Amino acid sequence: MAKEFDVCVIGSGPGGYVAAIRASQLGFKTAIVEKRFLGGVCLNIGCIPTKALLRSAEVIETVSHASDYGVDVKEFSPNFEGMIKRSRGVADKMSKGVQFLMKANKIEVLNGTGVFKSNKELAIQDEKGKEQETVKAKHFIVATGARPRQLPNLEIDGEMIIDSEKAMQLDKQPKKMVIIGAGAIGVEFAYFYNSIGTEVTLVELQKTLVPVEDKDVGKELGKIYKKKGINIFTESSVEKVEKKGKGVKATIKTKKGTEEVEADVVLSAVGVTGNIEDIGLEKAGVKTEKGAIKVDMSTYKTDADGIYAIGDVIGAPWLAHKASHEATVCVEQLAGENPHPINYNNIPGCTYCEPQIASVGMTEEQAKEEGYDVMVGKFPFSASGKASGLGHEEGFVKVVFDSKYGEWLGCHMIGSHVTELIAEAVVARDLETTGHEIISAVHPHPTMSEAVMEAVAEAYGEGVHLGSKPKKK
């Protein structure tokens, strides 16, 4: 006999578990289906454990430059196994936290793979595909997340070519590594492995690193990474990977010809693709488009009655915080509330390499392509007293405004822990704050956050710390 619920969520990542908790809070009898581990990719093999590894890299880098701060450190060395162990500990703690939240909110956890039999019924299957039980629900929410995308000519085998999950749990530190793709995942792992002594080669198909970011940010990161000793190939691609002895040989096609690079392992970091296969979407009448579930972006309703989808399975941006917000909006609508719709033009992106990268809104190039007459302000952290004191003068804050109405079109940062600064721009844009309101808001001194106000002042020709000439009004 099938179990019956008001809401059944499939997948327990940042979208799924938030949806389940909010549904329970609003009085729905709720179940959540998970085939692997509560918390999904983000908490277990994604966002959280990688940030723990990156923190270890930051500590190594700080100790390496201890003499710059007047501190003498005689002996130290990276403990790769210890770093991996700490990272797994952090991930396990967070996953257990989700387990606690499920119990606290009286959410029934169903272990297995959810496969639709119809739009009203879901089968829970074990690892061998055998049906264990069935679930009926008034509302199903698909939040099955995403997995690393594979290049057709470079299949991930877990040995020669690995994905991000394997990269954060290697048994032994590689001496040499080739990373394909310089998006967020690629540059984060490049920073981590370079910091602990691995020789890293980073290959990117586009002209700059982190190509979705403002070009100035990508160029700046490229300069910094080259100083760190990372080998960078832009406008290049890995054509093939061959086994050579105990390692591999990667053939890289560049603008100038072909290069061959030997390494212990190749990390494929070319993005993700939604988990929409083998869960019975066709039987349920759920339509997909370009590898994603097709939904109404205001309600998250699919073409099938009673089925909704959120997070990575409905497409870019593939971000945990975006999935969590979609979860809340989706469930609150089911409860008959009137949630504020998500502004998809105001979702921040963060990359946790060092220096960190954070952005929201349009790049300068995008704004010009949209026909805006822009005002651009840029403030380097080299002119920041706090950044100088911290010993992190690299990077800048860049802002883009519409000169006609003063709309804040975009904000782009690269620098130490700038992911903690971007929320000011997100809130300001959401409230339609003007540049002058940012300038007149007193920012504490000395802080890194002053750079936001200083960049805005530069855009308006009112900056006082760079010797800039006032702009004509």
Known catalytic residues are 445
Q: Determine if residue 40 is labeled as part of a ligand binding site.
A: no
Tokens read off for 472 = 């004509």
Q: Determine if residue 204 is labeled as part of a ligand binding site.
A: yes
Q: Determine if residue 182 is labeled as part of a ligand binding site.
A: yes
Beta strand 131-142 pairing with 307-309 = parallel
Beta strand 247-254 pairing with 237-244 = antiparallel
Taking CA 350 as the corner, what is the angle to CA 223 and CA 232, rounded to the nearest 5 degrees? 25
The neighbour count for residue 27, using CB atoms within 10 Å, is 9
Which phi and psi angles does 147 have, rounded to 5°? -135, 165
CA distance linking residue 20 with residue 34, whole number of Å: 12
CA distance linking residue 14 with residue 33, whole number of Å: 14
Residue 126: half-sphere exposure toward Cβ, Cα within 13 Å: 5
The neighbour count for residue 293, using CB atoms within 10 Å, is 26
Q: Which amino acid is at 336?
A: G
Q: Determine if residue 146 is labeled as part of a ligand binding site.
A: no
Q: Determine if residue 183 is labeled as part of a ligand binding site.
A: yes
Q: Which amino acid is at 343?
A: N
Q: Determine if residue 46 is labeled as part of a ligand binding site.
A: no
Q: Determine if residue 51 is labeled as part of a ligand binding site.
A: yes
Q: Determine if residue 271 is labeled as part of a ligand binding site.
A: yes
Structure-derived torsion over alpha carbons of residues 266, 272, 276, 277, reported in degrees to the nearest 10: -20
Q: Determine if residue 35 is labeled as part of a ligand binding site.
A: no
Q: What is the 3-state secondary structure (H, E, C) of 153-212?
A: CECCCCCCEECHHHHCCCCCCCCEEEEECCCHHHHHHHHHHHHCCCEEEEECCCCCCCCC
DSSP string across 268-290: E-S-EEE--TTS-HHHHT--EET
Is 412 in contact with 363 (CB distance < 8 Å)? yes
Long-range contacts made by residues 102-108, C-beta under 8 angstroms, separation at least 24?
102/17, 102/20, 102/32, 102/38, 105/20, 105/21, 105/24, 105/25, 105/30, 106/24, 106/30, 107/20, 107/21, 107/24, 107/30, 107/31, 107/32, 108/3, 108/5, 108/30, 108/31, 108/32
Q: Determine if residue 39 is labeled as part of a ligand binding site.
A: no
Q: Determine if residue 72 is labeled as part of a ligand binding site.
A: no
Binding-site positions read 51, 114, 181-188, 204, 271, 312
Binding-site positions for NAD(+) read 181-188, 204, 271
Binding-site positions for FAD read 51, 114, 312
